Chains A and B, each alone.
Chain A
Amino acid sequence: MSETKKYKKVAYYPGCALEGTAHAYNRSTKALGKELGLELDEVDNWNCCGAMEVKNIDPKIQTYLSSRVMSIAANDMGHDVVMAPCNGCYHNLKKAEYDLSHDEKSKQVVEKLSAKAGHETYKAGQIETIHALDWIKDAIGEEGLKERVKKSLSGMKIANYYGCMYTRPRHIFPEKDQGPGSESTTQPHFMDDLLEAAGAENVDFPLKTACCGGAHTLSDSDTSTKLVLNIIEAAEASGAEVIATECPTCHSGLEMHQIRAEKVLGRKTNVKIVYFTQLLGLAMGLSPRKVGIQENISDSIGLLKEKGLT
């Protein structure tokens, strides 16, 4: 079977959301990795990266939090790649990497805090941060997936939703927008590529990188509901039956405000919200239970039965 040598064994940074509300994403990521023969080595005693919140207190604390995670993975565990399935974690680690190589002050703060906290200081360039999408894309690739498909996703119409933090701001993702083969920050396609390889039909969805208002999902719920409803209705208008997600925050934001839109605004929508790792897992022949379909709030089991994926 075709495969590359890349990313066979990587450090795994699940983040808090995957241990809480997004348990299904954690479960399906691990199950998929196992099925594909990829090894995930969880970062020892990790800490939260600070999500979207700590940076609002002070961005340098966020840089420190992310640097500690990278320091453990690189210095204590000897990894040179860390994979984060959460857009927030992925973004923050990338941002820390950028700041530590471009901003002297951030570097000083991280050095000082690391020394006080009693661990080795992370230095820019020690580790490469990748998203779960990069992981599957580079370790297995489309050809590799095609060869392994047991239950094709054929006939399933999918809108791929990437959210904000996977592509913005573009300067923290120097490897993107590098021409053919690389990811695009304006028209991302890695998830589209993978799901298509598993047989799905990707619809032409214009809001791939629209914002769901996740930062204010509770503090300004009406705005979030408006933004989510716009995304969901656009997906339905594009003919999608499923919105595929690659981030726990985007995923739970869509699920939560889909319900809120129904209850508060009386706008009911039917599109199902499913993690891309769950969809790929199903295509590889894993059972819905194995990939945690029942843990999603958005109930997709009927649709999956209809498509012969159960």
Chain B
Amino acid sequence: MPIHEKNLIRPENISTHDNLVMDGVDVSGDWSTFIKTRVVADYNEELQDEIAALPGGEYIHRCWQCGSCTNSCTINAINPDFNPRYWIYLIRMGFESELVRDKDLIWQCVSCNKCTSACPRDVVPEAVMKATAHWLERKGYTKKSSSTVFDEVFSEQVIERGKIEDGEVVMSFFNRTGQKLTQPWLIEMVKRMIKGLPVQMLTMMGLATVFKPKTRNWGPARDAINDYIEEQEALLDEKLGPSVPYKAPEPAPTQIPAE
């Protein structure tokens, strides 16, 4: 039986007593030692292979848990629950249910590659984070993160025309994620941006949204890339099964208060 770390001590497993006196001693409060016992039986032994089948996850098996990735991580520095080493551990163990608890965190990796630079085993943790985030989406555990939506908007433009137009990427992204373009800071930014620009440049930018920048004779490259994506998708379907659409959880039933 493998040793699990830290996952049993968490708020819902801690016993709380507002008023508990034992042998005349007041022991009210939180007791993490009174945690409920728990049996783990839901290992997914395929988990590591599934992550490894996704682009970027290839080298996860090399990890020897040194922790350099977490130690160097940009996001870990602002949120200690963001822990690449721990997730890699869970994946290698097949501890799916534990991994899924952090489903809304993993996509927040900003691809700074501090982990990849620090990793002594060439795991490329940055890419493993992406693969894991995609795995969670693919299995229907989460909806597409805003980051994935951005990647898609951007990549679609590149593949379609060979180039992007940054204004259009931003607009499509706000559109698809249902965000308003009238946020005060955005307005302020556009104001300051326009202030210094020569008219000729503004016209150029305006024209860029109409006559979109593109690479000439891009058609064959576009088709080649699209064929490749299709092939890869088919391979993934074979290995992981088809994508499961995300279903928002039912509203939780009203809880019966304990005791």
Contact = CB atoms under 8 A, between A and B. Distances in A.
Interface of A: 16-17, 19-21, 23, 45-48, 50-61, 64-65, 68, 109, 112-113, 116-118, 164-165, 167-171, 185, 210-211, 213-216, 218-220, 223-224, 226-227, 255-256, 259-260, 262-264, 293-297, 299
Contact of A61 (B130, B134, B216, B225): B225
Interface stretch (B43-51, B86-94, B165-173): B165-173
Given A51-B154, A56-B130, A213-B74, A168 B114 contact: yes
The majority secondary structure among interface residues of chain A is helix
Given A113-B224, A116-B223, A214 B110 contact: yes
- Counting chain B residues whose Cβ lies within 8 A of the other chain, the interface size class is 35 or more
B237 to A, nearest CB: 15
B78 A219 contact: no
Nearest to B146: A219
Nearest to A113: B224
Contacts of A165: 113
Q: Which 6 A-B pairs have the closest CB atoms?
A: A211-B112, A116-B224, A294-B196, A263-B185, A117-B221, A219-B146
Interface of B: 55-56, 74-75, 78, 108, 110-114, 116-117, 122, 124, 126-127, 130, 134, 145-152, 154-155, 158-159, 162-167, 170, 173-174, 177, 184-185, 188-189, 192-193, 195-198, 201, 205, 208, 213, 215-218, 220-221, 223-225, 227-229, 232
A20 B189 contact: no
B74 A48 contact: no
A163 B196 CA distance: 26
Contact of A113 (B55, B108, B166, B225): B225
19 contacts: A16-B165, A20-B166, A23-B201, A50-B155, A55-B56, A56-B56, A56-B147, A57-B155, A61-B159, A113-B228, A164-B113, A164-B114, A168-B113, A214-B110, A219-B173, A256-B189, A295-B201, A297-B189, A297-B193
Contact of B192 (A19, A23, A54, A297): A297
A117 B224 contact: yes
A168 B112 CA distance: 8
Nearest to A185: B117
B225 A263 contact: no
B218 A219 contact: no
A262 B187 CA distance: 13
A299 B192 contact: yes
A57 B193 CA distance: 32
Contacts of A216: 108, 110, 146-147, 150
Contacts of A220: 108, 110, 146-147
